[in-house]
Amino acid sequence: MTDVGTAHSRVLVVGMDGLRHDRLARSPSHAPVLHALMATGAHGTSLLPYGEADGQAENGPSTSMAYTDSGPGWSSVLTGVWPDRHGVTGNDFAGADYARYPDFLSRAVTTRPGLRTAAAVSWPELVRRGVLGAAIGRRVHYDGESDGYDTADRLVARTAAHWLTEDDPDAVFVHFGATDEAGHAAGPLSPAYDHALRAQDTHLGRLLSAIDARRSDPGRADEHWTVLVTTDHGHLDTGGHGGDTRAEREVFVIVAEPGGPGGTRLDTPRLIDIAPTVLDRLGIPVDPVWGLRGRPLPRPTAPTPEWS
């Protein structure tokens, strides 16, 4: 990793692939950690834009008919622009322009070289295709495609928990893929999908426990952690995605950080709002020349209990 970054302001972004909001929201018993995070933070949903005419998309400009797939979805999360700018409209990544629109970790460390940045993912394409750039201090990818996402996600959680416990990262991105794998195999209404959600919820709990443990260290007690959780797309009831139905297009954002009222609703948070929010929390002003289309999510205004 690089040298110490902006004092005390830290960010963890957790991506849960193909996680349908309605399956998450229906019962705390299926995802107690995520429900606790929503109860102490803020959350909301929006619809991915899908091929609307120039400038008329519900949540942004035209997407050039981008599929509701992981390539476009995670590219939008990480870059802060829709597919009409970052160029990715499918999982072939054809037309990607990450040189012009890099991920938020690369953007942060390029702007402020002292920041320590890290990413651990279970979909290897996020590293192999350059969505997560070489400027990031640490990039670790496990192969959920060949080894299974249950295994790859466990390795991602172990790696990220180690960083949060033993190292001193300023900004971390983590990707879990088991919910998407289960959605394809059995559909989001299946016991397999519930199992994948509970597993990812447990992984998130491990990461939040590592952050809580940092605050018990007198040398780290004044760290200010912002935690964001999101997804890239939804799933049809029968499994699968790529089209323009609401079940495929609905996405969510959860944000938790000290200082705000718990259980509040965000007004249509978009995937492209994640990148500018990360930069904002790290104290990095967004330069208009970057062409970001998202906006920082609002900061909390009143005290809130810890997510644990």
pLDDT in tens, 214-249: 988 888 878 999 999 999 999 999 999 999 999 999
The whole-number pLDDT of residue 27 equals 81
Domain annotation for the chain: domains and CATH numbers? 9-290 (3.40.720.10)
Taking residue 198's Cβ as centre, other Cβ atoms within 10 Å add up to 16
Copy the structure tokens of residue 56. 């008329």
Hey, is 51 helix, strand or coil?
coil
71-120: per-residue pLDDT in tens?
A: 999 999 999 999 999 999 999 999 999 999 999 999 999 999 999 999 99
Higher pLDDT, 5 or 211: 211
**What count of other Cβ atoms lies within 10 Å of the Cβ of residue 209?**
15
pLDDT value of residue 306:
52
Residue type, 171: A
Residue 55: pLDDT over 50: no
Tell me which residue of 119, 64, 124, 60 sits closest to 97, measured CA to CA.
64
Confidence of residue 56 (pLDDT cuts 50, 70, 90): very low
For tokens 């750039």, name the residue: 133
Is residue 19 within 8 A of residue 179, CB to CB? The reply is yes
pLDDT score at 258: 83
| Per-residue pLDDT tens digits for 107-139 | 999 999 999 999 999 999 999 999 999 999 999
pTM here is 0.92
3-class SS string, 153-195 = HHHHHHHHHHHHHHCCCCEEEEEECHHHHHHHHHCCCCHHHHH
Span 243-295, pLDDT tens digits: 999 999 999 999 999 877 788 999 999 999 999 999 999 999 999 999 999 99
pLDDT mean over 164-174: 96
